[in-house]
Amino acid sequence: MSTQNHDNDAPGPDKLTGHNYDGIREYDNPTPGWWHLIFMGSIVFSIGYFAIFHLSSCQEVLAPEARHAAAEKRADAASFALLGELTNDGPTLMRLSTEEVAIGKGQAVFGARCVICHGQNGGGMPGLGLNLTDDYGKNIRAPEDVYKTISQGVTGTAMLGFEAQLGKDDTILAAAYVISLRGTNTPDGLPPEGEPMPAWPAAAPPAGE
């Protein structure tokens, strides 16, 4: 009986490259065409995705989160426009302390930065922050002093300067909110500290009047 050695799995000459490394021949196995199509398609898709979602306004239509964020941004810009120019002079601070939009924005800043020392209602915290709702103050005699205290802090106390973190506009709004707290006399507030403060000056007319 003759034995024939059939190597059906061995590649033909057309499936081998001309490379030979220490007797090891390189098998020619090109990437399938469908793989190339997927690879090129992913590149085209990524370019289109970037252009639509990052460079155009279509993202507001396609992504509900982006649409909601854009709406909030427009509403915030519109409400700031209603407030007029934000400056830290007394008349402007007094005007802002009577405007609902300004008080709302200032209260949000106060809630994020100030409640830990002054309490949720501004009544103060023992050993930390003074009562902001009565008519007494240690460093406050005029509306501008409220802004200065929030902006620069008070040396030797737990009161730090916040303008570097908040920016000037939010510092002004926080000051306006604190000014509006005077006279609310929250029942759970700390006892008065410091000296009686002069009455606030009359508020200027609202912006645009």
Contact 113, 166 (CB under 8 A): yes
Q: For position 6, what pLDDT does the model report?
A: 46
- Cα separation, 139 vs 119, whole angstroms: 19
Residue 140, C-beta contacts closer than 8 angstroms, at least 6 positions apart = 146, 149, 194, 197
Tally Cβ neighbours within 10 Å of residue 66.
15
Q: So what's the pLDDT on residue 181?
A: 95
d(CA 125, CA 115): 9
Extract the tokens encoding 77: 């810009």
Handedness of CA 47, 50, 51, 53 (dihedral sign): positive
Q: In a structure prediction context, what are the per-residue pLDDT tens digits for the chain, which is 209 residues long?
A: 444 444 445 555 557 777 777 778 777 777 888 999 999 999 999 998 888 777 766 655 556 666 666 666 666 666 666 677 888 999 999 999 999 989 999 999 999 999 999 999 999 999 899 999 999 999 899 999 999 999 999 988 889 899 999 899 999 999 999 999 999 999 999 999 999 999 988 776 655 55
Is 134 in contact with 186 (CB distance < 8 Å)? no
Homologous superfamily assigned to 86-196 = Cytochrome c-like domain (1.10.760.10)
Residue 177: strand, helix, or coil: helix
Query: Whole-angstrom Cα distance, residue 79 to residue 157?
Result: 35
pLDDT the model gives residue 21: 77
Q: What is the pLDDT of residue 1?
A: 45
DSSP-derived secondary structure letter, 25: E
The answer, as to whether pTM is greater than 0.75, is: no
Q: For the chain, first and last CA: distance in Å?
A: 116
